[in-house]
Structure 1
Amino acid sequence: MTTFTSFTFLLLPFVVFHVANAAIFDIRNNCPYTVWAGAVPGGGRQLNPGQSWSLNVPAGTKGARIWPRTKCNFDGSGRGRCETGDCNGRLQCQNYGMPPNTLAEYALNQFNNLDFFDISLVDGFNVPMEFSPTSGGCTRGIVCRADINGQCPNQLRAPGGCNNPCTVFKTDQYCCNSGSCGPTSFSKFFKDRCRDAYSYPKDDATSTFTCPGGTNYKVVFCP
């Protein structure tokens, strides 16, 4: 996912009031197993099957992520570990999760007061996910339902998930460290199964979506 650039605008008073509202993210677990949601900003929450978590995120937030963690075990102080998506052994995440994990990424109230959002498989895949707007007349969402774990190429297999090739091989071809790279056979594996999700770091044209600032969203595990 590319870095979103914020711009400063001379906003009319009613627009300033509008963008000052927090966006509400409804995070739901429709999986038949427990998922520990991770969120930066936001922390984390254990979600048993059917449970949800409402997260208020301040306007202007960028570089934000929500992701599923699986097979976690935490003690009474909220310390432990997860098989996938672990965030430094904490229930309440303060940093991004460890691959492989399916990512919902977003930046609020950016250029032209638009929200930018995507599902990214650049950190691999662990749980199917939907990321969709729920208000403001914005209707175009993203869904990644494929059985990527079951179909994962042998070179990318990991306990509980499927790694992106950058995680495994750490080369410029897959990680785009030089800023110039293209699709590969491995990224095509992800793209063929989740056409609206990021399959490699420069997959912007078909993978970034926008809604007006002030939109609310849902993130669904196992949609």
Structure 2
Amino acid sequence: MATTRALVFLLGVVAVVCGVDAVTITVVNRCSYTVWPGALPGGGVRLDPGRSWTLNVPSGTKAARIWPRTGCSFDGSGRGRCVTGDCRNALACSVSGTPPTTLAEYTLGTPGVGDSTDYFDLSVIDGFNVPMSFQPASNGERCSRRRGPTCAVDITAQCLPELRVAGGCDSACGRFGGDTYCCRGQYEHNCPPTKYSKFFKEKCPDAYSYAKDDQSSTFTCPAGTNYQIVMCP
């Protein structure tokens, strides 16, 4: 009996610790159309207008991402395809989405252990398909800028003709390749902005527009902060 009580107590402690060490990210679709968000970790779902999807992500998660998929069609087994953001024809993603996609990226710290800071951003380095915002849902007053990034402009509707693709606005790297546009080769560590990255930055100043755009595009909050990602804010 004593052993059973001890086990129950231990499981309770583990449950409490896991609850404290999990961050809640709520994805909300305020678009007038259905979006199929993909997430690593998290998989993916269908999100009709006005619906939300809640992810519980462990503290300490590194290099995670959430992105919108559009124009999707899946069968009952979760197989199909999307016009933008497709992840190898699966509803539940295990790989990142095919550009162009607006991208929410984050690395979570661990409260009281090591680096206790969350780092997060929006990126249009891989192009754009849906307006997004990425905001702290709690402890916002303790965040570096008291807010997160927003990219509320529909860049697809204003896309430069040479970057237009079905359902989105492609990046210069994706469209043309090359060391300058892709920040590789001689430009890997000293990559200058281009007229195309400046176009994206003008539309969404909070978002990464090219690989070396860190100073104006990285946001931080204390570890343990919960977040809300809104499609079409």
Comparing 171-180 with 118-127, greater Cα deviation is found at 171-180
Rate the CA distance shift 1:19–1:195 in 2: closer, same or farther, 3 A. farther
Q: How far apart, in 2, do the equivalents of 1:146 and 1:165 lie?
A: 19
Q: Which residue of 2 aligns with 1:113?
A: 116
Q: Which residue of 2 aligns with 1:149?
A: 156
> 2-side partners of 1:112 and 1:61: how far apart?
12
In the superposition, the TM-score normalised over structure 1's length comes to 0.89
Q: Percent identical across equivalent pairs?
A: 58
Report the 3-state secondary structure (helix = DSSP H, G, I; strand = E; otherwise coil) of the residue aligned with 1:70: coil
Q: Tell me, in whole angstroms, the C-alpha distance in 2 between the residues paired with 1:58 and 1:163.
A: 32
Moved over 3 A (4+): 17-20
1:137-186: per-residue Cα shift (whole Å, max 9, x none)?
Answer: 43311110112101111111110000111111111101112232111100
Contact 1:62 1:107 in 2 (8 A): yes
Q: CA deviation at 1:20?
A: 5.7
**Contact map agreement 1:19 1:213 (CA 8 A) in 2:** no
* Structure-2-length-normalised TM-score: 0.86
**Which 10-residue stretch deviates more, 103-112 or 64-73?**
103-112
2:62 corresponds to: 62
CA–CA distance in structure 2, aligned partners of residues 73 and 191 of structure 1: 32
* Equivalent residue runs for 1:170-185 within 5 Å: 170-177=177-184, 178-185=188-195
Q: Which structure dedicates a bigger proportion of its chain to helix?
A: 2
Structure with max Cα Rg: 2
Q: Secondary structure at the match of 1:36?
A: coil
Do structure 1's residue 192 and structure 2's residue 192 form an aligned pair? no
Aligned to 1:165: 172
CA contact (8 A) 1:19 1:109 kept: no
Residues in 2 aligned to 1:86 and 1:126: alpha-carbon distance in whole angstroms? 12
Equivalent residue letter for 1:194: C
Task: Decide whether aligned partners of structure 1 residues 135 and 169 sit closer, same or farther in structure 2, where only a CA change above 3 A counts.
Answer: same
Q: Deviations over 1:174-222 (max 9, x none)?
A: 1112232111100010000100100001100100000000000000000
Confirm or deny: 8 A CA contact 1:104 1:119 kept in the other structure.
Answer: yes
How many residues are matched? 207
Aligned residue in 2 for 1:104: 104
CA distance in 2, matches of 1:213, 1:131: 15
Matched with 1:8 is: none
The one-letter amino acid paired with 1:116 is: Y
> Residue 36 of structure 1 contacts residue 68 of structure 1 at CA under 8 Å; is this kept in 2?
yes
The root-mean-square deviation of aligned C-alpha atoms, in Å, is 1.5
**Residues in 1 aligned to 2:212 and 2:87: alpha-carbon distance in whole angstroms:** 25
The partner residue of 2:129 within 126, 129, 141 is 126
Once the two structures are overlaid, the 10-residue window that deviates more, 138-147 or 192-201, is: 138-147
Structure number with higher strand proportion: 1
